[in-house]
Amino acid sequence: MSAFLLCFAAWSAIALGMDRHHQDALGREGSARHLLRLRRAGWLLLLLSLWLAARPSHATPTSLGVTAWAIALSVAAVAVTAMVTWQPRRAPAFAGGALVTGLLAWALGW
């Protein structure tokens, strides 16, 4: 669950780092520096989610964790695409909620 939520937050940050989606979601243009920071944060979140998924545990081998992460990555990408297409104003709130919930789920071992 945490992998999906972190991937959702990451893809949202990457999408909101694009001019068009930023304008649609927030109603204003973002500065080039702000957009770049959003994209970088998104890529860092994707790396974090991969690292968390790939860590071997007593219950899950690394290969299974990476496979589950790839599935979460794909489903989250489709979900974010739908969100910024049909409900762009809600995207920042959903991204923030996914980030907080994903980190909490990871901390609780979910």
Q: Count other Cβ atoms within 10 Å, centred on residue 103.
A: 16
Helix H or strand E encompassing 59: none
Question: 87-91, long-range: CB within 8 Å, 24+ apart, which pairs?
Answer: 88/21, 88/24, 88/25, 89/24, 89/25, 89/27, 91/12, 91/15, 91/16, 91/21, 91/25
Give domain limits for the chain: 2-107
Give the global pTM: 0.93
Integer Cα distance of 33 and 36 in angstroms: 5
Q: What is the pLDDT of residues 33-76, one digit of tens each?
A: 999 999 999 999 999 999 988 887 777 788 898 999 999 999 99
